[in-house]
């Protein structure tokens, strides 16, 4: 699947560039999401994520992980776009966001909805479809379960794909991976 939701009804796939996130507060209102909420829920595994903390005129990249270093799972929605009859079907997804918890609030005002292991079964169960029930699952994960640390500005360039991108900023990289 490709990150950046392209609704099945979209005239072309470029809309996906603007739909990488979906606010949990408006899932039942936005045409792009309300039809998907009942039957197209998914989980996105990750070992962490990045947010940028404002500091003066700059931004400091921060990596957010589970304190126990276990993987985390984001709540998401998916769809299939079939707009081009000469191309393959395009499977895409978006990550649902919620208000930041106490750990994230100084870094960013939003965070991905992280679904705990026991709630994951309910999130994926098509029988669980009432918006009120689903909204209970879309709460910020408690801060006590998470940790955040500064990382290298290497993460600002998507061409950089190495362990240096997840190492604490105090670790000295041998230099940029790409010029």
Residues 85-128: pLDDT tens digits? 777 899 999 999 999 999 999 999 999 999 998 899 999 999 99
Question: Which residues of the chain register pLDDT less than 70?
Answer: 171-179
Strand partners, 58: 55
**What residues does each domain of the chain span?**
2-48+71-141
Using one digit for the tens of pLDDT, what is the confidence trace for 112-124? 999 998 899 999 9
Task: Identify the CATH number of the domain defined by range 2-48+71-141.
Answer: 3.90.1680.10
- Here the tokens at position 18 are 């603007």
Q: What is the pLDDT of residue 177?
A: 43
């Amino acid at each position: 699947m490709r990150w950046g939701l392209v609704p099945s009804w979209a005239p072309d796939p470029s809309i996906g560039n603007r739909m990488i996130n979906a606010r949990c507060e408006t899932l039942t209102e936005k045409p792009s999401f309300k039809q998907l909420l009942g039957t197209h829920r998914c989980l996105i595994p990750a070992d962490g994520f990045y947010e940028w903390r404002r500091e003066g005129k700059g931004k400091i990249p921060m990596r957010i992980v589970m304190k126990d270093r276990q993987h985390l799972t984001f709540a998401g929605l998916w769809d299939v776009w079939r707009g081009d009859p000469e191309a393959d079907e395009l499977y895409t997804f978006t990550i649902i966001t919620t208000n930041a918890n106490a750990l994230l609030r100084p870094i960013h005002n939003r965070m991905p909805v992280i679904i705990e292991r026991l709630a994951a079964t309910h999130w994926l169960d098509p029988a669980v479809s009432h918006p009120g029930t689903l909204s209970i699952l879309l709460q910020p994960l408690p801060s006590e379960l998470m940790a955040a640390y500064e990382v290298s500005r290497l993460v600002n360039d998507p061409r950089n794909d190495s362990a240096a991108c997840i190492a604490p900023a105090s670790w000295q990289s041998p230099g940029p991976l790409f010029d």
